[in-house]
Structure 1
Amino acid sequence: MSRHMSRNAALAPILAGAGALALVLTGCAGGAGNAAAPTAFTYLINSENTMIPGQITALSEDQCKAENTALPLKVETVPQTNLDQKLQLLAGQNALPAMYAAGNAPALTKTLDESGNVVDFEVALAEIGALDDIEPAAISTIKSLYGGKFNVLPYQYNIEGIWYNKQVFADAGVDVPATWSELVAASAAIAKTGVTPFSASGEQGWPLTRLVGDYLFRDLGADALQKVADGDAKLTDPEYVAAAQAIADLGTAGYFGQGVGSIDYDTAASQFLNGKAAMFYMGSWILESMNDPERNKIGADNVGFMPFPAVEGGKGSIDEYPANVGLPSTMSAKVYDDKVADWLGCIAENYGSAALKDQGTISGFKANSEVSGIDPLTQVVQTTISESTSSVLWFEALFSTKATTTSQTNAAQLVSGAISAEEFMKLVQADLDS
């Protein structure tokens, strides 16, 4: 039985006055009523993702059994490459299902929202008393990605930081660095022991550009890249170039090891998991490998997790972790009714704990019930998320596809010294300006 109020019960006090009634009619999360009431709780999701629909199905058979009886769950799939086209087609036919995977980019969700096809979850969850079931940091991430709106659900939630080898740190006589200067000093001490300070994939590029973005957020503040997107700043401004230079300096010092440009994601992860590198910047999606004794040869108990350090004198906060919500899902405002609202409330109350218990995965939903047997590293990340109230994005989050490609394909050249920090930022900015 869900502990949340029904949508009608939640609205009853509001409906007492005519003025309040007008407010509900204009601000309610529900749609315009020009689509038929749903006969099933249909969930359209990309076929590559089996984890989320599997967990929703499990809820339908247990915690959400009553909601499923009233409105049966029906899962439909489409290849991710065809998802955007399918969503646009269904929207044009006024036939989007109750819940669906949002588009591959926030821009499509924005378009669907403008045509009345997306639920405002800040309103909808508040109406049923379930807004507190969402982690504040997840809401912060969603709003940063979706133009200030909470209009997708965080079935997946990843934070990023630096994983480190505790034994290597101890052997080098260094503590967990809290500032950039301390990180550079720790890297120098570790290098003297013969261990590569950082493992990173130059072939993918983004594990390196993530560091540029993090430095910017710590130095200039959480809105550093929003200012670039808004045209109020450019990557070629001196303070932005300084961030790229700081990461380039790590490469010049040899702290990424040899041949970083030819190292792929799996090799970079293996270097850390086999004890050949002291640190590995990566998101919490790597937990599966960290918790796998067959892959993690240094042992999970020898792995620590720390935030990207503070930049001395910077405006950013070390407590703001870069984060993303994967390919999120949303709900159709045009078919959002009391039965769908009941499903939303049940999911909000139970998904976080169920996913953590059944799959060991972290979402942006709070774990409302005690979950035992969680791997210690997973618990560390879950606690970190629970204690966070805001987040930041990543370097290319607000970039065009062209600028993103340019950034990631030139990252290895930046840290190898093949191009200067100024040249790197100039190349990316040129694509943003085009």
Structure 2
Amino acid sequence: MKRSQFLTLTAAAAALPLLASCSDGTSGKPMSTSSTVDGDIEARPISWLLSRPANGAVIEVMTQIADEYAQKHPGFSLSLITTPDRPSYLQKYVTLAAAGKLPELFDTDATPFAQKLADQGHMIDVEDLLTSLDVLEDFRPAALDYQRFSDGALHMIPLEFGLEVFWYNTELFDAAGANVPETLEDMPQLCETLAVSGVTPIALDGQDAWPLERYLAFYPFRVAGEDYIAGLKEGRASFSNEPGRLSAQWMHDLGQAGAFQAGFSSVGYADAQGLFTSGRAAMYNIGTWELPALATTELPEPMRDNIDYFTLPVTKDSVTGPDEYVASSGIGVAVNAATYDPLVRDFLKYALERYPELYARSGILGPTTVKPVIPDTALPIYERAIAQAEELGDATLMPWDTQLDPTTNTRLQQELVLLVQGDKSVEEFLSTMDATLTSNTQQA
């Protein structure tokens, strides 16, 4: 995120506390976040603020559903308010929120900012909504849990679901005499072994920042579980506590081992994936949403017989199990309490009845238990990766970029690059991040 964008985002977020209560705009009475609403269904246009791939399954399916609903309810339409990139989306999101002009539906992660919106009554209670529509049990528990705030409240509807695993090139591993790591402690030496063999150990999309930040979250999740990141965002833990210190040292060691490609911080999503699928990198950490590119005949022919995956390794003193790692349901959809009416409820009822089956046709894991349709072009590993979802444990690694406040998160992403590049020591990294965290926790 550029500095100017960051300042705008922070300023808008700072303005939000002025919205001390949530009212209907006419009576001044606080609005209910209950999903119960009385009245006739009167068709009208509604809008959805989002930042998702235009050619992705979510938008394609929801557009189809909206068109179907409009045929039965003349006058209805679903307008998609899209933005070109995530930083721009966040800027628009918090600006509209501060002005009280969010549309009927809007995308959000379970961030501290979203928690503030929910606490002020700006979001419908999604657990209540899904229960009243009799679809709560259709959703994967892990998909719902990913959307929950730290207090367990659910205010976002998941529309996606994916497991994040380490894809690896078996041929490059064999040529280097390397083995799949049993623990995270094994990773730096593994990367050094692969680097000596002449390949890039790990392909990384450094341009988007979150993939590198994901690595920082791995070690604390193994040694301290879910509580550590919750402690950071609530100001009761610090980066220099043992989980954070161990993680910073591990990231430093990965950098010293040459784990990522040269110039990784400027390499984008497609180029990072291409580095792996072309056989120039030995590993690539990404979710099952990329199965069509990584586990079908779309994969370059030399890779088809040489691709496999492993899940997040444990640590020697791990408190989470090998079946517990990142299982993300992506950005969720919140329902604006100020514009919630019988039409919005009825459209969501129709959408949530149709969505599971239509989304399953995309061939990728979805947020419900409806099994995806495996494409005819799938490699054997495709179905194995899909089946992996049935073996998930109870704990889920929550990505830090969805948990920390915007200021701390942006600084963390910047400092992490310097740590991995060797431009900052572990102590300098920890000191800088603790000062940033303390400052922003006090301002919250």
Return closer, same or farther for 1:247/1:112 CA change in 2, 3 Å cut-off.
closer
How far apart are the structure 2 equivalents of 1:196 and 1:364?
34
Work out whether 1:418 is the aligned partner of 2:423.
yes
Work out whether 1:140 is the aligned partner of 2:145.
yes
The one of 300, 304, 320 equivalent to 2:308 is 304
1:15 — aligned with what? none
Return closer, same or farther for 1:339/1:373 CA change in 2, 3 Å cut-off.
farther
Is the CA contact (8 Å cut-off) linking 1:143 and 1:150 kept in structure 2? yes
1:58 — aligned with what? 64
The one of 143, 150, 154 equivalent to 1:150 is 154
Deviates more, 1:70-79 or 1:409-418: 70-79
Is the CA contact (8 Å cut-off) linking 1:218 and 1:314 kept in structure 2? yes
Any residues of structure 2 matched to 1:22-421 within 5 Å, and which? 28-30=34-36, 38-40=42-44, 42-46=46-50, 49-50=53-54, 51=56, 52-59=58-65, 69=72, 73-80=76-83, 81=89, 82-86=92-96, 89=99, 96-97=103-104, 100-103=105-108, 106-107=111-112, 109-144=114-149, 147-202=151-206, 204-261=208-265, 263-287=267-291, 289-290=293-294, 296=300, 298-333=302-337, 340-341=344-345, 343-357=347-361, 359-367=362-370, 373=376, 375-376=378-379, 379-388=383-392, 389-421=394-426
TM-score, with length taken from structure 2: 0.76
- Cα deviations by residue, 1:83-134 (Å, 9 ceiling, x for unpaired): 4444555658xxx53xx12357745543443454422222222233211211
How far apart are the structure 1 equivalents of 2:371 and 2:208?
37
How far apart are the structure 2 equivalents of 1:53 and 1:202?
26
- Cα deviations by residue, 1:166-196 (Å, 9 ceiling, x for unpaired): 2223334444333224444544543453333
- Cα deviations by residue, 1:378-417 (Å, 9 ceiling, x for unpaired): 5444433343344221233322222222222232321232
How far apart are the structure 2 equivalents of 1:53 and 1:291?
23
5+ residue gaps in structure 2? Answer: 1-31, 84-88, 440-444
5+ residue gaps in structure 1? Answer: 1-25
Return closer, same or farther for 1:430/1:87 CA change in 2, 3 Å cut-off.
closer
* Other structure's SS at 1:148 match: coil
Return closer, same or farther for 1:336/1:365 CA change in 2, 3 Å cut-off.
farther
Identity %: 23
Is the CA contact (8 Å cut-off) linking 1:161 and 1:283 kept in structure 2? yes
Q: CA deviation at 1:159?
A: 3.4
Q: What one-letter code is carried by the residue in structure 2 that aligns with 1:207?
A: P
How far apart are the structure 2 equivalents of 1:323 and 1:430?
31
Q: What one-letter code is carried by the residue in structure 1 that aligns with 2:235?
A: G
1:9 — aligned with what? none
How far apart are the structure 1 equivalents of 2:365 and 2:384?
11
* Other structure's SS at 2:434 match: helix
Return closer, same or farther for 1:73/1:425 CA change in 2, 3 Å cut-off.
farther
Is the CA contact (8 Å cut-off) linking 1:199 and 1:256 kept in structure 2? yes
TM-score, with length taken from structure 1: 0.77
Return closer, same or farther for 1:151/1:379 CA change in 2, 3 Å cut-off.
farther
How far apart are the structure 2 equivalents of 1:253 and 1:137?
34
Return closer, same or farther for 1:281/1:413 CA change in 2, 3 Å cut-off.
same
* Other structure's SS at 2:221 match: helix
1:433 — aligned with what? 438
Q: How many equivalent pairs are there?
A: 397
Deviates more, 1:36-45 or 1:148-157: 36-45
How far apart are the structure 2 equivalents of 1:108 and 1:334?
18
